[in-house]
Amino acid sequence: MAKTQTQSPKTSPKAPDFLAWHITQKGDKSYWNKVGAAWVHRDENGYTIQLDVVPINGRIVLRQPIEDPAEPAIEKEGA
C-alpha cells in the first residue's frame, strides 16, 4: 500500500525564534558575526538550527532577534 501524505496549507515562512552568532575574542574586544538562525519545534521540545557557515573557533550564541519598533519614537519638546 502506498502511503498518503496530507499537505498542510501553505503558510509564509516563520521568522526565526533565535539568531545564531559566532563570537570571537581578540584582546579586550568581542566580535559578533551572524552565522544562522534557530526555530523552536511545534511541540516546544527542541530546536532546528540552520547555520550558513560553521566556525572553527570561538563560540556560538543563540539570541532572540531584536524587533524593530513599528513606529519611530516621538521626541517631546522641552525634554
Mean pLDDT of 11-16: 81
In terms of average pLDDT, the best of 5-9, 54-58, 67-71 is 54-58
Going by pLDDT thresholds of 50, 70 and 90, the confidence category of residue 33 is: very high
Please count the other Cβ atoms lying within 10 Å of the Cβ belonging to residue 19.
Answer: 17
Distance CA 56, CA 22 (A): 10
Is 68 contained in some domain? no
Inside any domain, residue 3: no
Inside any domain, residue 42: yes
Q: How many domains does the structure of the chain reveal? A: 1
Show the domain range for 48: 18-63
Cβ contacts of 51 within 8 Å, gap of 6 or more:
20, 35, 36, 60
Q: Is residue 4 part of a domain?
A: no
Kindly report whether the global pTM for this prediction surpasses the value 0.85.
no
Q: Is position 77 within any domain? A: no
Residue 46 lies in a domain: yes
Place of cell 574586544: 29
Distance between CA atoms of residues 79 and 63, nearest Å:
33
Contact assessment for residue 41 and residue 47, using Cβ atoms and an 8 Å cutoff: yes
Let me know if residue 33 belongs to a domain: yes
